[in-house]
Amino acid sequence: NGRELIEESIKRIEENFPQLAFQTEGLYREMIYENGHCSWINEALLVMDYQPYPQKSYVRKSWKAYWNEQFYDEWLPFRQYRKTLPGGHPQFFKYYNSIEDKVCIISTRKSENLIQEQLEPELWSGPLGLTAADKVKFQADFLDPKLLDKYEYTRGAALLLDSIVCIAVNFKPVELSQRVHQMWQEKISFPLFAGTVYLDVENFAVVRFECTIANPKTMDIYQISDPWQIFPASIEVSVDYRKFDKVWLPRQLIIEQVLEGKSSEKWNFSNHFRIKRELFFNPGGSKKLKGIEFRDIHRANLRDFPVAYQPEIWEDFFRRGHYPAIGDQETKDLERMTPLEKQFMLIDRRY
């Protein structure tokens, strides 16, 4: 049945996924859509030291490191924006990495802010915040052995994903929690997500999972006790893996949040916003590339990261890594006033 398939998949994580740290190149992208139109984009080329599977007993150390704001004292400005778009953490709640997971930014490029409501986005955590959504590696939520009794698993149909025969397992909370909260130094202990896990029928490796917050209305306690926070109208998470040199590695992570117009003590905006964060992996890559370390600490965001835009490096990365380009419609939206290449150069000089 579905529960047994998930248990077998968890049992085989060490067999199917890397047991040694590995290096990967990557492309990180964050975009904001206002009323359906792309109005803001940041991107980064990076190299990453990625720790083995699974990670256990990492949260407390990572929590202490997260609040070490002194690391960014030289460049992280404390900005008291008059009007802010509260993107916050990718999954709203704080999910941590192992402190040994390292990201170095090689080059960045950033568009102008074309948001009509003149909001300054606040997107925290950057690429490391996305890797925390690797629920196989961190055995989180519906893949957490301690939460299996809180989820209902149902075996679905067999299907092909990238020519791999998979079996689908659907999951949802057995009971929606009425009061959800998080102790910052602990893993999430509530069943938050509903979705589907796709398992390789040969070895039970996770090939893909996709999930969404089961019922955002259960988070209303945040709006009552902490009106300065905004819980997104929806959060969708999807992660794909591929087999690379006999082990499964992450291929891409995507998280999307939807924010509806809000008026409260701190926030005041009326438009519909969609925040999309993407991270694409290219295991291996060049060993010669060096960058500046980006840490996932409180208030860290890519927009303020002081790494130059270098067109020649971007051309080389896209040629070797086969990363997806910015979409045609997104490019059209962003070039309403100025060509993107010119924006990248201008923003680079400004920051």
Tokens 């400005």 found at: 77
> What pLDDT sits at residue 147?
95
* Residue 103, φ and ψ in degrees, nearest 5: -125, 130
> What pLDDT sits at residue 141?
95
pLDDT band at 269 (very low <50, low <70, confident <90, very high): confident
Query: Over the stretch 38-72, which tens digit does the pLDDT of each residue have?
Result: 999 999 999 999 999 999 888 888 888 887 766 55
- Show the tokens assigned to 94: 């704080």
* Residue 10, φ and ψ in degrees, nearest 5: -65, -40
Residue 291 or 106, more confident: 106
> What pLDDT sits at residue 303?
86
Distance, CA of 85 to CA of 154 (rounded, Å): 38
Nearest by Cα to 197 from 254, 131, 136, 277? 136
> What pLDDT sits at residue 87?
85
pTM above 0.85, yes or no: yes
Distance, CA of 198 to CA of 50 (rounded, Å): 23
Coil/strand/helix, residue 47: strand
pLDDT reading at 78 higher than 50: no
CB 304, CB 351: distance < 8 Å = yes
- Show the tokens assigned to 255: 């998280």
CA 88-93-96 angle, 5° bins: 95
CA 8-13-14 angle, 5° bins: 125
Average pLDDT of the residues in 237-249: 94
> What pLDDT sits at residue 214?
85
**Sequential DSSP letters for 267-297:** -EE-S-EEEEEEEEEEES--SS---EEE---
Query: Over the stretch 285-343, which tens digit does the pLDDT of each residue have?
Result: 655 677 888 888 877 888 888 888 999 999 988 887 779 999 999 999 999 989 999 99
Query: Over the stretch 199-235, which tens digit does the pLDDT of each residue have?
Result: 999 999 999 999 998 876 666 555 544 555 678 889 9
**Least confident range of 117-131, 157-171, 262-276, 300-314:** 262-276
